[in-house]
Amino acid sequence: MTRVGGGRFPTVGVALVTGPTAGIGREIAFELALQGHELILVARDERRLNDLADELGNCRVLAADLSDREQLKQVEQAATEVDWLVNNAGYGITQSFLESTVEQEQALLDVLVVAVMRLTHAALPGMVERGRGRILNVSSVAGWLPMGTYSAAKAWVTTFTEGLAAGTPAGIHATALCPGFTRTEFHERADMRVDGPGWMWLDAGAVARQGVRDCERGVVLSVPSRRYWAAATAARYTPRRILRAATKPKEFR
């Protein structure tokens, strides 16, 4: 179902945001709305999408499950007209790879990897034709750590984005936004309990603002906060055998 909210800002372009109903995606949607973009909001929960559209105005709502290939095709069609593409939708699996089902793992990859690739592939021709485009892929510092399927998927997103940045015309900017722990619904939805001091946690609004700003500036790897930039740099240059030992579950050591 598509719903158009009332116009509130002068339109400067069209931006498609996946997973905008909470957390970083929601904050990115607000940032782009304030810039004057018409928004195409994509998520599974139509009620929450409509609530967000009422808040933002100048929106189209597209309820779709990105792990469903037929529903994804509808989103791909919408992506052909955008100036901004924000691939933010994602989630985690609480079980280890030994405990999860292959269906769970496939759905995770469909959302975190396949949807990112297909939506980007759909959006790029129009961006190239217009001579301008912005692609903001929400990745994670976890992509530099050997910590299961989620980390592997985010590693793909980061490397994919770097390839886009190197292989697209000058008017198109591709950015991988790689935050650390951020206060969102992510861990609650995944039923994950993460203990840690307050300094570990980032504010979703600040992360979104930096991601949008860095994408406009052409920054390829956007890592919010000095502490996570330092952590990401350490992870990238630490010998992999040391990282594997550090992240190995206690029962297998």
Identify which of 79, 78, 7, 80 has the alpha carbon closest to the alpha carbon of residue 38: 7
pLDDT of 40: 98
The two tokens of residue 83 are: 């100036």
Question: Largest Cα–Cα distance in the chain?
Answer: 58
Averaged over successive runs of 10 residues, the pLDDT of the chain (253 residues) comes to 42 91 96 96 96 94 98 98 97 92 97 98 97 97 92 97 97 95 60 55 92 97 90 89 86 70
Instruction: Give 13-252's CATH code, choosing from 3.40.50.720, 3.40.50.12170, 2.60.120.10, 3.40.50.1980.
Output: 3.40.50.720
The residues spanned by each domain of the chain are 13-252
pLDDT of 185: 58
Q: H or E stretch including 236?
A: helix 226-237
Query: Annotated catalytic sites, by residue?
Result: 150
The two tokens of residue 26 are: 């929601």
Kindly report the pTM of this predicted structure: 0.87
